Amino acid sequence: MNTIKILFVICSVALFGLPGKSQLTSEKSLSPYFHVKSQSKVDDFPLQASHSQVNIVGTLADVTITQRYKNDGQSPLEAVYVFPGSTRAAVYAMTAVMGGDTIRAKIEEKQKAKAIFTKAVKDGKRAALLEQERPNVFKMSVGNILPGDIVEVELKYTELLVPENKEYEFYFPTVVGPRFTGESNDSGSGFTNTPYLKEGEQSPFDFDLSCSIHSGINIRLVTSPSHKIDVRYPDLKSALVEFDSEEKNPAGKDFILKYQLAGDKIESGISLYDHGDEKFFTLMMEPPARITNSHIPNREYVFIVDVSGSMSGYPLDVSKQLLKDLLVELHPADRFNIVFFAGDSRLWSESSKSANQENLETALQFMNSLSGGGGTYLLQALKTAMDLPKAVGPEARCFVIISDGYINVEKECFDYIRENLDRANFFSFGIGSSPNVHLMDGIAHVGGGEATIVNGKEDGPKKAEDFRKYIEKPVLSKIKVDFQGFKAYDLNLKKVPDVLAERPLIIQGKWKGPIEGKVCISGLTGSGKFQRCIDLKDANQSPDNSPIRYHWARERIRLLDDYRLNGYGDKLQKETLELGLKYNLLTAYTSFVAVQEKKVAGEKAVLVKQPLPLPHHVSNMAVGFEASVKGISFPKSVPARPNYRIQSMTFNGKRISEPWAFEKLWLDVFAVLKKEVKQPCFIRIKLNQNGKILEIQKDGTAWLNFKIQSLVGKTYSNLSIYGQGTLEINFHQ
């Protein structure tokens, strides 16, 4: 196994998060700086080594990260660092080795944990606190680390790996680049307070990562686009991954592992874990790699379109264009209908009609006669769509909700979607320059899918084509899961959505009693009835399946978050807290805290924020300063317009996981935006393969501003690694 030099993130405040969390509030936006409140040499608290062990079982990844730090300074330290993670990560354990003692952290209510840590540090005791800043950002605080101390921290988390285009991806972030949050901090800066070294200057540590994959289905291929790896296959359903001995990984490079599963039929597998007091299972049905027409049932598409007052004008125009792009791609054998909703609902047709040319033209004429107005209630529109007459024979029904998200979505609406997944598939399109992404994501998640954001008319054809490819091949519809002799309960899905060619079926739950019986999955394909039974004697039962327990709870918490983020959180906080405490999970309301009971420090600990090298391909300009970390402040960066925020940022239609890489570009644009734009807007920037700007648009048309147009032709060479594409940014007041 080769040891590789990379870098890790140590910072002090929440990181840049998308969508919609970047509030631009500071007129005097300063660059980040590093400050130590002491004359002593205390800025040496380097991460010496990090090892990550990844164990992938089915679609669940269990990750153990072990980090070793040393205080080479002359005073006790209190270190604060923040590290990235997946929004699906369930952090379930933390252990700290401090002063020779191994301390297993306890899960506590968040405010209680903070109070325990603060008191321990004040009393001169070693202590560690792990908090969730955001669903994908975690903060560790370590107090009273004596000079010469070596501290080891071990974190454990698990996450769900959901395939896209039949390919699974495990993404291990190792660095977070400089981010502009826009939120005021102690210095008045809109940047995170992460200190960075000069471009090219590194503070390396030893890093290694090993990974094992165990699947209920044969593994076809394992690759890594980011690293050279060595892969061994102990059997058809297992793989062991290490870094290749020739791997020379530059600093600031995240690890990406991809793998594909085999099979040209509908294949299924089930994994079990017995925790003693509770028993958990995960059932996975992966669609076949090759889809024939015989697999595909007929389809019915019901478009549920928001025509309320907030959709008037530009958003409704975008919706009409999107509908046109979707309708023209339907097959003649498909059926379709349209439900328009605001204060009430209005059907285009009393029953869905064939997607022939005559019906398509009639629907488009009817749609063009509409204008936005009135309030908005989605629940009645869903019920209207559900009451449409069904076809005779197998047919996959898809509901496509098109809205800007500024609608009245009753709690009962989320419940209704979850309870009817066996009757229809639910998809959401967020429309306009600044849609309510939280709500559209929530609707998609409870419906078992993903939200699509369409900002302008030009997006319509591409997004419509991507969506059509995603949903056009329902391999199995009207699915029933029958547990025969296997006592299953507390399922994550009340009803089961269709299996699509691009989306697997995953069911998680608990069971009681012995491992016996069968799980039978039935439904309809284009060629007729389908049924397959899985004998529990063939199930994969192993201690390695322990992540199943945590992920079952994490999915339940994630569902509660969907309700909470959309205004239904007052009564759900208690349930989230109880789940976090019972299953030992880090949540918005729980934290891990570890305290060594003996007093070790007599003087006050100094707060230290570790300086970092800049990520690969990122220049000093990314943080707006001639970088240094020796206690000095830096020149001002781009001033921010108050009360502006970035609602979302995408590249080629996909949300950006590395927004810092594009930061210099959008800050240049924002320098003009803050002076020229008085209302929410949508910015589109087209780049060639070298990172050269080809065109800049605002709200779908050319931005005729001299300073903006002067950026056309400018090259941002660090973006060349992303290739040719379109960067889209939604600014919102």
Q: How does pLDDT run across 465-510, given as a tens digit for each residue? A: 777 777 777 777 788 899 999 999 999 877 788 877 767 778 899 9
pLDDT exceeds 80 at position 222: yes
Higher per-residue pLDDT: 571 or 335: 335
More confident residue, 18 or 212: 212
Q: 558 pLDDT exceeds 60?
A: yes
The confidence score (pLDDT) of residue 676 equals 60
**Gyration radius (Cα) of the chain, Å:** 27
Residue 644 pLDDT > 50: no
Instruction: Please provide the CATH number assigned to the domain covering 267-290+477-534.
Output: 2.60.40
pLDDT at 682: 77
477-489 residue pLDDT tens: 788 899 999 999 9
> How crowded is residue 353: how many other Cβ atoms within 10 Å of its Cβ?
17
Please give the pLDDT value at position 190. Answer: 34
- Convert 413-448 to b/e letters by CB count within 10 Å (16 or more is b): bbebbbebbbebbbbbbbbbbbbbbbbbbbbbbbbb
pLDDT of residue 371: 67
At residue 593, the pLDDT reads 96
Is residue 107 within 8 A of residue 173, CB to CB? The reply is no
Helix (H, G, I), strand (E, B) or coil at 109: strand
The pLDDT, as a whole number, for residue 269 is 77
Give the model confidence (pLDDT) of 117-165 as tens digits: 999 999 999 899 999 877 667 888 888 888 888 888 899 998 888 777 6
SS3 290: coil
Please report, as a single letter, which amino acid is at residue 708. I
Residue 178 has a pLDDT of 42
Residue-level pLDDT at 482: 92
Q: Cα-flanking dihedrals φ and ψ of residue 399, to 5°?
A: -100, 125
Whether pLDDT at 175 is above 80: no
pLDDT bucket at 23, cuts 50 / 70 / 90: very low
**Banded pLDDT at 665 (limits 50, 70, 90):** confident
Query: Amino acid identity, residue 416?
Result: Y
**pLDDT confidence of residue 656:** 65
- Which of 3.40.109, 2.10.260, 2.60.40, 3.30.70 is the CATH number of 4-16+29-261+587-608? 2.60.40
Q: What is the mean pLDDT of residues 716-721?
A: 74
pLDDT (tens digit per residue) in 241-250: 998 888 765 4
Mean pLDDT of 244-264: 74
From CA 167, how far away is CA 221, in angstroms rounded? 9
Q: Which has more confidence, 2 or 724?
A: 724
Ramachandran quadrant class, 369 (left: phi over 0; alpha: psi -120 to 50; beta: rest): alpha
Question: Quick one: pLDDT at residue 660?
Answer: 58
Answer whether residue 69 shows pLDDT above 90.
no
DSSP H or E stretch at residue 695: strand 693-698
Return the pLDDT at 438: 65
- Domain 297-472 superfamily per CATH: von Willebrand factor, type A domain (3.40.50.410)
What per-residue confidence (pLDDT) applies to 691? 84
Confidence of residue 105 (pLDDT cuts 50, 70, 90): very high
User: Phi and psi of 79, rounded to 5°?
Assistant: -105, 140
Residues 51, 242: Cα–Cα separation, whole Å: 12
Q: Is the omega angle on the peptide bond into residue 19 within 30 degrees of 0, that is, cis?
A: yes
CA distance 316 to 327: 16
Alpha-carbon distances, residue 333 vs 86, 300, 353, 354, 395 (angstroms): 41, 9, 10, 6, 11
Average pLDDT over all residues of the chain? 74
The backbone torsions φ and ψ at residue 653, rounded to the nearest 5 degrees and listed phi first, read 85, -5
pLDDT of residue 329: 76
**pLDDT value at 106 more than 50:** yes
* pLDDT at residue number 252: 57
Note the pLDDT of residue 604.
Answer: 60
8 Å CB contact between 366 and 348: yes
Where b means 16+ CB within 10 Å and e means fewer, 672-711 reads: bbbeebeebbbbbbbbeeebbbeebbbbbeebebeebeeb
Q: Where are the alpha helices (DSSP H) in 99-198?
A: 110-122
Domain-by-domain residue ranges, the chain? Answer: 4-16+29-261+587-608, 267-290+477-534, 297-472, 638-732
Query: Which of helix, strand or coil describes residue 682?
Result: strand
pLDDT at residue 418 above 60? yes
Contact 401, 443 (CB under 8 A): yes
In Å, how far are 68, 118, 167, 444 from 598, measured between CA atoms?
22, 15, 51, 50
Residue 535 pLDDT > 70: yes
Give the per-residue pLDDT at 531: 86
pLDDT of residue 195: 47
The enclosing H or E element of 44 equals none
pLDDT at 617: 44
Residue 192's pLDDT band, with cuts at 50, 70 and 90, is very low
Please check whether the two domains, 4-16+29-261+587-608 and 267-290+477-534, share a CATH topology.
yes
- Tell whether the model's pLDDT for residue 240 goes beyond 90: yes
The larger pLDDT score, comparing residue 688 to residue 578, is at 578
What is d(CA 592, CA 131) in angstroms, rounded to the nearest whole number? 7
pLDDT band at residue 640 using 50, 70 and 90 as cut-offs: very low
What per-residue confidence (pLDDT) applies to 210? 93
Strand-strand pairing, 22-24 and 528-535: unpaired
Report the share of the chain in percent with pLDDT over 70.
Answer: 71
Q: What percent of the chain has pLDDT over 90?
A: 19
Query: CB–CB of 674/56 below 8 Å?
Result: no
Over 80: is that where the pLDDT of 563 sits?
Answer: no
Higher pLDDT, 188 or 94: 94
Most confident segment among 148-152, 193-197, 593-597, 606-610:
593-597
Q: Each residue of 23-32: b (16+ CB within 10 Å) or e? A: bbbbeebbbb
Name the least confident of 276-290, 565-579, 581-595, 669-683: 669-683
**Averaged over 618-632, what is the pLDDT?**
36
Token digits for 200? 């090219």
